């Protein structure tokens, strides 16, 4: 039996294509945010530490309460995506540090992904004034309005 010289090349090309296709389907993990570990949180004394000492110990928070700045949030999440599919949150941890009226630490709370809630955004639209033009009205509406510059 006579072997064709390109037979081995075809097999290598097919194997390379299969390997590239499978590599494109691998899982991509992303870690976002920062949550202080237990030893760092143990240094925070409830009723003693202030906002400044918390920031000096733990760094700036990921978020501060929107309407009331009496809570600081340190948020960490792990996201996973396979191939071209939508990215999913597979783990989330939130450490909330609450402050009293005198800016002293009042409480430290831990939340996980199981305490999270899905927030649905409103898809309502704000109407704009004026009338909507059809494509034909838009195309023909500018005829005669253009000013032709005169040579000087």
Q: Is the pTM of this model over 0.75?
A: no
Q: What is d(CA 136, CA 133) in angstroms, rounded to the nearest whole number?
A: 8
Inter-residue contact 107 to 50 (CB < 8 Å): no
Which residue, among 89, 97, 94, has the nearest Cα to 112 in the 3D structure? 94
Q: What is d(CA 115, CA 124) in angstroms, rounded to the nearest whole number?
A: 28
Q: What is d(CA 146, CA 80) in angstroms, rounded to the nearest whole number?
A: 54
Inter-residue contact 59 to 34 (CB < 8 Å): yes
Residue 95, judged by CB atoms within 10 A of its CB (0-12, 13-18, 19+), counts as buried
* pLDDT(23) > 70: no
Mean pLDDT of 139-146: 73
Q: What is the pLDDT of residues 85-129, one digit of tens each?
A: 888 888 889 999 999 999 999 999 999 888 776 555 556 666 666
Which residue, among 100, 39, 33, has the nearest Cα to 68 in the 3D structure? 100
DSSP label at residue 35: -
Residue ranges of the domains in the chain? 26-116
CATH domain 26-116 topology: Beta-lactamase Inhibitory Protein; Chain:B, domain 1 (3.30.1450)
Residue 76: per-residue pLDDT: 92
Q: What is the pLDDT of residues 73-82, one digit of tens each?
A: 999 999 998 8
């Amino acid at each position: 039996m006579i072997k064709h010289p390109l037979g081995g090349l075809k097999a290598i090309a097919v194997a390379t294509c299969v390997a590239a296709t499978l590599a494109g389907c691998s899982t991509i993990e992303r870690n976002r945010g920062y949550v202080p570990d237990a030893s760092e949180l143990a240094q925070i004394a409830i009723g003693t530490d202030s906002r400044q000492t918390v920031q000096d110990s733990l760094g700036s928070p990921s978020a501060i309460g929107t309407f009331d700045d009496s809570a600081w949030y340190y948020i960490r999440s792990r996201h996973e995506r396979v191939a071209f599919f939508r990215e999913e949150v597979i783990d989330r941890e939130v450490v909330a540090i609450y402050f009293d009226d005198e800016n002293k630490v009042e409480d430290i709370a831990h939340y996980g992904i199981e305490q999270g809630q899905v927030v649905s955004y409103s898809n309502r639209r704000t109407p704009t004034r004026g009338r909507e033009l059809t494509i034909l009205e838009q195309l023909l509406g500018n005829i005669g309005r253009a000013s032709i510059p005169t040579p000087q």
